[in-house]
Structure 1
């Protein structure tokens, strides 16, 4: 009962949430925050909307099954014209239901010619009284009956579900509905992880664009210094050429980074289920702290949490229950069935009976003797499904455990790389500053400045990747744990 109530409210939320928030979201409204993106994806995601429709369809199927428990009623009205009513049942008669009845039957006289002999008068006795001839009848049996016959009948039937087939089918429907709701939850978790990873991926590309822009600015400044030094005669033209080459390479990276941002925005909007042209203007996120502590990652505890919370784990349990109930259901293929039928007919002008209203109550018991082995085959197939469900349960448990373990490794890896990158980027900045000073003083070459700048750009790229790898790994861990 608890699961059924939870399923009902989850399904109700699935139905109402998009309807409530649909009108609040304006088309082509810029996407700025992660919360806005998550809300939009929950409303517009095609996979979530299709999953909701599958759950609603399953609910209607359950209603269809439950209809078998309720009385079935029907009303029938008819009008009949007795075409051979002139002679009743003694007339020309109809050959059968499909034959054409003769509306003009051959009517013969009741007394054939010559049936009454001539009586001669006798003188010795009184004049004999002739025997009167009876008048010819205008028709046979049924003469005078109204040829227009109307009737209205009401029939109510009730399946008594003697074998409990409808009850089992209803239970299977409830289980299937719970599977559909759990599948919606699974897709919702996948969607949220996709949105989070896409959000962090877009922030990554924007951060890398800033790194590329900074590298171009540094190269332009280095080229300016090299030309100044060359004009002063303190460096060779080779240093100017190296500075120009470095600037061109960094400009190439900047162009690629700028286009990658546009591609990421387009892909991010499309992943939300909205127009890919929807503007995306993400707010600057909270930066990862240099000494941010690693969260507690107790593997055994997290695996236990995941097995209890993941919708996939619950779905495997339901699949086993469904298989067991299918075995019971198919085992009832030869079970007896019992039905009661109550009917009543009203005829305002009955032709051959005295009562205008008639009624009947019947109870029918049906006992199948053989179905050719179909029920046995279906039960065996259900047992095969049960064994497959057991294999699937074990497979899903292993898969959930593997996802948790991999997510833990990814979090630790990104955290360690981020902590290392913090120190490396500070060292690279200092090395670049020293290389610039040495070049201006004429004790080093432009090649050293280029190498220092390249190392700095790589260090800044590493810290950006480590930061967003860490955030993405945390999102993956939440998904592996079944957090909504």
Structure 2
């Protein structure tokens, strides 16, 4: 169940990223088209050469397949999500919100998170329950082996006799009896002792498995914490890089419009800006997945 929830979370985030990737690709195409329109006006005025116009047209043409590919990827992401949800693949759905709004910083550091996970994970609870069952079994077998079974009983009765069904004038005779039975397992002791030993072996086995699972869970928490920190640092760097790329593109456009820059500078700035936007999307997705893995390690995927 936990793994299915993780898959659903990843599929949901993947669909959201696919939505934003289509938007980024569409913006890049619009940006290239605006530049082509500007080049066309400048060409009509005799400011730029035919070569500049051709390069601008080629840039627009090269971006159209990227948009088609992004739309196809989005459709596949949506169908994958609907498949996990058990929905008809052709049923339209709309996702609400933006990636930046759902990214949440982990509330606990590694040490506290690891302790929390070991108390919450169902795997450890199941092992603890199995060990408790074996401990109870061992106690029962030890009692059968070491202790005799004692049964005690007390009986009280009253009697009367009459030829007629009338007991009002009859004398009743009261009597009591008691019994005590002691069962000493002389011949069953070896079998109980053997079952007790088997239970002890199982108790130790459950303890070893518990320790192994606990170490594995702590390792999962550590890896998830490190992955989230790395994804956060990457996202921060990607956001800063995108800001610089936007400044670079605006500067290249201004220089080109004023006749002191080249179209090569504009196209290169466009490429760098588009790449920086895609990198931000990838970093956001990586951070969301890292958070989902963190929640999975803590046993709290919703």
Which TM-score tier does this pair reach, normalised by the shorter chain? 0.7 to 0.9
Counterpart position of 1:239: 52
Counterpart position of 1:192: 5
Distance across 2 between alignment mates of 1:455 and 1:435 = 12
Counterpart position of 1:417: 234
Q: Cα RMSD between the aligned structures?
A: 3.4
Q: CA offsets per residue over residues 296-319 of structure 1, 9 Å max, x none?
A: 542211111111111112112122
Do residues 226 (structure 1) and 43 (structure 2) align?
no
Counterpart position of 2:244: 427
Distance across 1 between alignment mates of 2:140 and 2:62 = 72
1:463 aligned to which of 271, 274, 280? 280
Counterpart position of 1:452: 269
Distance across 2 between alignment mates of 1:402 and 1:460 = 33
Residues 449 and 322 from structure 1, CA distance in 2 versus in 1: closer, same or farther, beyond 3 angstroms?
Answer: same
Counterpart position of 1:28: none
Distance across 2 between alignment mates of 1:250 and 1:382 = 69
* Greater shift in the superposed pair: 194-203 or 233-242: 233-242
Q: CA offsets per residue over residues 107-164 of structure 1, 9 Å max, x none?
A: xxxxxxxxxxxxxxxxxxxxxxxxxxxxxxxxxxxxxxxxxxxxxxxxxxxxxxxxxx
Distance across 1 between alignment mates of 2:209 and 2:42 = 72
Counterpart position of 2:95: 282
Q: Tell me, which stretches of 5 or more residues in structure 2 are unaligned?
A: 152-182
Distance across 1 between alignment mates of 2:104 and 2:81 = 30
TM-score, normalization by structure 1: 0.48
Does the CA contact (< 8 Å) of 1:294 and 1:415 recur in 2? Answer: no
| Higher RCO, Cα 8 Å, sep 6+ | 2
- Give the superposition deviation at 1:258: 0.3
Larger radius of gyration: 1
- Give the superposition deviation at 1:264: 0.7
Residues 423 and 380 from structure 1, CA distance in 2 versus in 1: closer, same or farther, beyond 3 angstroms?
Answer: same
Residues 381 and 234 from structure 1, CA distance in 2 versus in 1: closer, same or farther, beyond 3 angstroms?
Answer: farther
Q: CA offsets per residue over residues 221-265 of structure 1, 9 Å max, x none?
A: 222233333344333333233323322332121111101111111
- Give the superposition deviation at 1:374: 8.3
Does the CA contact (< 8 Å) of 2:106 and 2:291 recur in 1? Answer: no
Residues 276 and 385 from structure 1, CA distance in 2 versus in 1: closer, same or farther, beyond 3 angstroms?
Answer: farther
Do residues 323 (structure 1) and 134 (structure 2) align?
yes
- Give the superposition deviation at 1:197: 2.4
Counterpart position of 1:215: 28
Does the CA contact (< 8 Å) of 2:131 and 2:203 recur in 1? Answer: yes
Q: Tell me, which stretches of 5 or more residues in structure 1 are unaligned?
A: 1-186, 339-364
Distance across 1 between alignment mates of 2:113 and 2:285 = 23
Do residues 306 (structure 1) and 117 (structure 2) align?
yes
TM-score, normalization by structure 2: 0.74
